[in-house]
Structure 1
Amino acid sequence: MSYKIGVSSGWWSITKSEELLGLASKVGATTTYGVNFVQVDFESIAEFQEPDVVKNIKKLIDTLQVDWGMHGEIGEMMALESALEVVWKHSHRRLHQYLDTIYLKFCVEGDYREYIPRYIVFHASSLPTIAMVVERFRYAGQLTVTPSGDLNWIDFIQKSEELKKWVENSNLIYFLIGKESGLAFESVDSIKIKIGEWAVVESEEFREKIRKRIEELRKDGVGEEEAKKIALEEVSREIDKYAWEFFRNITRLRFSEGAITHEDIAYLIVARYLYEKRNDASEPLWNLFFKDKSWEKLEKEFGVQFLDKNGEVRLPPQIVALVAARYILGHFSEKNKEEFLLEQKRLLEKMFSPDRVKKIEEEFLNKSPFEKLAILNNLISEKVGNGKRKLMILFENPEITRAGEEGLQRLVHAIDIYRMVKAAEKIANGTYLGMVFDQEHYLHNNLDPLSEIKSLQKEAEEVGKFLLVFHVGAPKPYHPAHHPIDIGSEAQYWIYKYAFELRKAGFGKENEGIFIFERGGARGGQYPAQFIGQSAAALRIIVNFLEKEVEPEKLPPEFYGISSTEILSEERQLAIIREHFFDPLKGLLQVPEEEYTFLGGKVIEKGKRSEEWKREELK
């Protein structure tokens, strides 16, 4: 495989440049700067509604002979890792909108399959971590959903008998009742008493068990009041069974049946679910993250109880990353929600006949994102040939969200993003998700890019299959610097060093590796052609030596723009120096007459013939 050099278009909302008004304009705005790939930065999915947008994209790609990819929106609109219902639904709707729009614009409204972008990039995380410092309480009071987008946590838990037992044995069911009921409880015991009192009134089965036990005790000679007390205590030991119904009833009335309004608890439950399902081929994340380590061993290793005896939740970043990955994958396995599917159908009914809309719904809209990606890639292969082009969803290590939260995003480390996309391959039976490595994002998150790459080299044997894009810029720890790359600069060396280590991990070997210089600010007075063009020139040098696999410490002067071949060879430069060595002394020295030297004139004055004084004769 080889490498491509590209540049991001930039956002119109940031630069306010006229050349960024529209998708096609963004494709054409940067392709005259010495690159053959452009990453179009999306402001909104509405950009696809511009008249003739796909026709114009086709025209520019054909004329300029370039390829393209997309950078999707960032922020909570695409926070796929969130368990909060409102964020989950927004993100799920948006993910489907991207895929539906590409299908409609490139496959339904016209046959432009070969112009579908190579990838769509989303940030792996847009939210700060949870169950750490004050973040433990930041997202409380909002409804949470399971990784499938369901509000009913009781159904989710009870589908796994092992998970159900753990929720009971750890007293989590009672902590949930205490938090979600709105009632004032002093202890778990007081909650159990309340459930018992409720069961006496509401459960015929519970009352029957108590009645029978009282009869047995009375036959043994126990007094009536004492028998009632003993019977209630004994039957209450089975209170776990009734706790679920109590929880179901209080949440049904207060929020929604089986609802949880604490995101840290939602994450805790999903983490335990993944542990209990670790031997299930459809849930590979636990083994990818922690191999054969047990829940208890991890608690000991991290030095913290994930759920302590007081009901406090403390999740280390590794557990948070595990669950964040599961929420992201949950989006790709789930069809669009009914309300959003109806929204899309109403829009289509204004454009197509009812029969056509029904066909589009059956063939594409009513599918999961994994299924939609498979359909799109099959359509592309039918047009251009198998394996020649593919659409992938790529996940980029995130940028900093707020000052002081460096490195605290839920899914930030390269190895964890790799584990997620590797799990996706196992679940979907295809490589539809991939990775972007952004060295500047790691730097301003207080993380060392080289350490991130080393972790990939150590564990991720197949990372070359998934790592498609390397975002580059002068490596500065500021957000967002996106500073130009000068030829011969320290920045050029460090980008090469990162790229060299990524190549050792597989970048550009199993896939065509794409370098993207992310457009940012220029030095004063520079036009885009200047700072983008010089960065592209530096990247061409980097790619040239990268393909030769030259060690970073052995880079020759040519890498830094000092050529020693052809017109700038050392031999030619030395010859020029010798030829013009005395140029500064012109007009300052007198050269003796060649045959008779300085003394020839005096010899003639003395009456001697000049032939007798020739230099050759008197040597």
Structure 2
Amino acid sequence: MAVVRVYVKDDSLSIEVKNFLRENGVSFTEYDVDKYPSMRQEAMALTKGVDAFPVVLVDGKVIFGKKTVSELKREFKVKGKLEKYVSKFFEVREQIKSSIPAIERKKAWDGLESKNFLVGVTSGLPTADRATVIEEVASNLGKGCDVMRIDIESYNHLTPKDKDDLKHLSEAQGMKWAIHGDVTVDFTQADKEIWEHADLSLKEYIKMVKDLKALYVNFHAAVYPQPQIHEGVYKSNRRYLGPDGKGIYETLKKSAGAKKHYITEFARNYNLEDMWRTLSGRAQRELQYAGNKEPTLEAVMKKIGLEKDDKEEIRKKFHELLHGELLEEGHFNEDITEWMAYCIVAWWLYDRGDPMWTTICGSASPDKLIEGHRDDQIKMVDAVAGAYIRGHFEKYLNKLSSEGVMILFENPDARGGEGRGQRRFRLMRPTHIYHVIKVIGHPNIRLSIDWEHIAMHGYDPWDEAKSFPLDIGEFVVNTDVNSHPGVNHLMHPVERGDVNLYKLLWELRKRGFKKGYLTYEWGGGRAPEQRWGETIIALKSMAKMLDARIPPEELPPEFFGLGPAEVELEKRIMERNMFKPIEGTLEFPELAHGWMSGELVKKSPRKLETWAREEFR
């Protein structure tokens, strides 16, 4: 450890420098030259007669205070010899850093900020605060973050002035922007109107990211509940598309399994009497077309080739009739539910051995998943949702590469609070989104994880994190963070020393998360003065620890807001009070003072107050 002596005049050693030394574990002795003339002579001898304070002596090497060479020359009218001492040292902080290579700042987590994990904040929703985009951004600009993610509520939300102001702020403040896309855009919907709106939004957001030079645009991977739950909303008079944006019939006719499923489900609406009536009606019309204007029952029965009590053959014949009529182009019944559209796509994926199916559902067939456990249905829905996402993005992959646009998919919330804790939505689990991204296989499509969103759907974030795939961190670019993530989505400020939150981030770090953004999403109806707390400081501390690969069980005191000076103070307080528990229980006299201090107390009792004030200095 270096030996540091500091000669000061009129308290010329700033609090900033003192704190810097203490935080880095540097022990130093401070001498006030106004009080001790001998120290002034010693300092003047070190500086060759130049009266410039503070004077810092590090292992016998003299360093001047925080004035530039030109300022010192003007003040003391010294030429030549001053440059010998101060030409390489302009600020005391930098001087101490460069002069003491062995001090504890060499610890892996030390330094002002992490280089690989940047801290971000959200701007807030303009409509919620009745503010413009720039007003929202400006209100959060001075929080000390590295990145601000702007909540854009529609692709046409930004005015030309907004864009100009954001560009100016970026250049003037060095701020990096990211974008959160419209939370109503759903790339997993089969409904034609919603599919087309999502496609248009995607195209416009790509332009916006390029124009603002944003780091990424973040979309919720899905918005609506699972279609078997949600089908009552969009049932009739809707048109449904396949993942490629063409009518669902185009997907249906490519898959034998989809055709069979569709016919079977359609036939569920008919009982045996309805089937017989349909078959006999069809036979009667065919006889009439052949010239038999009034066919008899015997002729109709002969035409059908079945007896009325032959139940299995009637069902078989009826299915053959449906297959011939319903699946012909122009006769396909589009009055179906989105759940039926999802089932058609599921069979199409299964029949072709699509990796979007096999990575999420394995070798299970759609009928087994449909009739299986709720978790099985979730797998099927998420595989099909992934196919719809892929269908949207396939035609834009080259553009993402050429424009340098990054797309992030975030695990969604329970929109509007509907079904919280009931696992009712699509792509709720980051692992399934990871599989979708991996199958798409483009480096500019990555994952964003929101821990509170996991909790909102009834999953435990810590259990989920422990079950993540071993390489999921390589696909994560951002994680939204709050202390105490729970089902109510309170957006709690991040607290210093939140080990539980750090454990979540550590699970990602172990799985390849080496670089990215830690974004604080504020909100929850809190007053402005309650939104932040120590969030930015806490996150920057976590970022440094992640960068240094420090596991939760080895976190240093600095993580909890305790620097070397605070730790030393705590030790002194504990040492002073270590015998308090047994005070008054001993038979022999308890000596609070030695002989000299005891005599001084008798003569001047008020000295105790002075000592108490100075004890921990």
TM-score with structure 2 length normalisation?
A: 0.66
- Counterparts in 2 of 1:203 and 1:574: CA distance versus 1, 3 Å: farther
1:434 is aligned to 446
Matches within 5 A, 1:157-236: 157-165=252-260, 167-168=262-263, 171-175=264-268, 178=269, 186-187=270-271, 190-191=274-275, 194=278, 197-198=281-282, 201=285, 229-233=301-305
Question: How far off is 1:13 after superposition?
Answer: 1.3
Counterparts of 1:502 and 1:12, CA distance in 2: 32
Counterparts of 2:256 and 2:602, CA distance in 1: 104
The gaps in structure 1 that reach 5 residues or longer are 107-114, 179-185, 211-223, 305-313, 334-367, 378-389, 592-619
Structure 1 residue aligned with 2:338, among 258, 263, 269?
Answer: 263
Question: How far off is 1:449 after superposition?
Answer: 0.7
- Counterparts in 2 of 1:585 and 1:559: CA distance versus 1, 3 Å: farther
Alpha carbons 2:361, 2:380 under 8 Å: kept: no
Alpha carbons 1:81, 1:327 under 8 Å: kept: yes
Any idea what SS the aligned residue of 1:330 has?
A: helix
Counterparts of 1:203 and 1:231, CA distance in 2: 8
- Counterparts in 2 of 1:148 and 1:325: CA distance versus 1, 3 Å: closer
Report whether the alignment pairs 1:243 with 2:322: yes
1:539 is aligned to 539
2:505 is aligned to 499
Deviations 1:352-377 (A, max 9, x none): xxxxxxxxxxxxxxxx3334323322
Amino acid corresponding to residue 172 of structure 1 in structure 2: E
Structure 2 residue aligned with 1:45, among 155, 173, 180?
Answer: 155
Question: How far off is 1:287 after superposition?
Answer: 1.0
Question: How far off is 1:284 after superposition?
Answer: 1.6
Any idea what SS the aligned residue of 1:332 has?
A: helix
1:4 is aligned to 118
Any idea what SS the aligned residue of 1:487 has?
A: coil
- Counterparts in 2 of 1:40 and 1:196: CA distance versus 1, 3 Å: farther
Structural RMSD (CA):
3.9
Matches within 5 A, 1:117-136: 117-132=214-229, 135=230
Any idea what SS the aligned residue of 1:69 has?
A: strand
Matches within 5 A, 1:303-314: none
Structure 1 residue aligned with 2:401, among 331, 351, 374?
Answer: 374
Structure 1 residue aligned with 2:475, among 447, 452, 466?
Answer: 466
- Counterparts in 2 of 1:405 and 1:195: CA distance versus 1, 3 Å: farther
Counterparts of 2:245 and 2:164, CA distance in 1: 40
1:287 is aligned to 358
Counterparts of 2:143 and 2:593, CA distance in 1: 43
Deviations 1:186-238 (A, max 9, x none): 4267347526644774799x979x9xxxxxxxxxxxxx986763442379966
Any idea what SS the aligned residue of 2:341 has?
A: helix
Counterparts of 1:400 and 1:553, CA distance in 2: 36
- Counterparts in 2 of 1:148 and 1:45: CA distance versus 1, 3 Å: same
2:517 is aligned to 514
Any idea what SS the aligned residue of 2:182 has?
A: coil
Any idea what SS the aligned residue of 1:48 has?
A: coil
Matches within 5 A, 1:592-607: none
Counterparts of 2:480 and 2:287, CA distance in 1: 61
Moved more, 156-165 or 443-452: 156-165
Amino acid corresponding to residue 348 of structure 2 in structure 1: Y
Report whether the alignment pairs 1:322 with 2:383: yes
Percent identity for Structure 1 against Structure 2: 23
- Counterparts in 2 of 1:274 and 1:260: CA distance versus 1, 3 Å: farther
Any idea what SS the aligned residue of 2:349 has?
A: helix
1:482 is aligned to 491
Structure 1 residue aligned with 2:234, among 139, 162, 181?
Answer: 139
Report whether the alignment pairs 1:31 with 2:114: no
1:409 is aligned to 425
Amino acid corresponding to residue 361 of structure 2 in structure 1: F
Alpha carbons 2:458, 2:487 under 8 Å: kept: no
1:309 is aligned to none
The structure with the largest helix share of the pair is 1
Counterparts of 2:186 and 2:278, CA distance in 1: 39
Any idea what SS the aligned residue of 1:526 has?
A: helix
- Counterparts in 2 of 1:553 and 1:326: CA distance versus 1, 3 Å: same
Any idea what SS the aligned residue of 2:459 has?
A: coil
Structure 2 residue aligned with 1:59, among 165, 168, 174?
Answer: 168
Amino acid corresponding to residue 462 of structure 1 in structure 2: D
2:182 is aligned to 73
Alpha carbons 2:369, 2:377 under 8 Å: kept: no
Amino acid corresponding to residue 420 of structure 1 in structure 2: V
Alpha carbons 1:435, 1:469 under 8 Å: kept: yes
Question: How far off is 1:36 after superposition?
Answer: 0.8
Question: How far off is 1:440 after superposition?
Answer: 1.4
Counterparts of 1:324 and 1:392, CA distance in 2: 17
Report the number of matched residues. Answer: 463
TM-score with structure 1 length normalisation?
A: 0.65
Question: How far off is 1:521 after superposition?
Answer: 5.1
Structure 1 residue aligned with 2:602, among 577, 583, 589?
Answer: 589
Question: How far off is 1:251 after superposition?
Answer: 7.6
Larger relative contact order, structure 1 or 2 (CA cutoff 8 Å, min sep 6): 1
Alpha carbons 1:121, 1:396 under 8 Å: kept: no
Question: How far off is 1:495 after superposition?
Answer: 1.5
Any idea what SS the aligned residue of 1:411 has?
A: coil
Counterparts of 2:235 and 2:367, CA distance in 1: 27
The gaps in structure 2 that reach 5 residues or longer are 1-114, 307-312, 577-591, 605-617
Alpha carbons 2:242, 2:250 under 8 Å: kept: no
Alpha carbons 2:411, 2:427 under 8 Å: kept: no
Alpha carbons 2:221, 2:427 under 8 Å: kept: yes
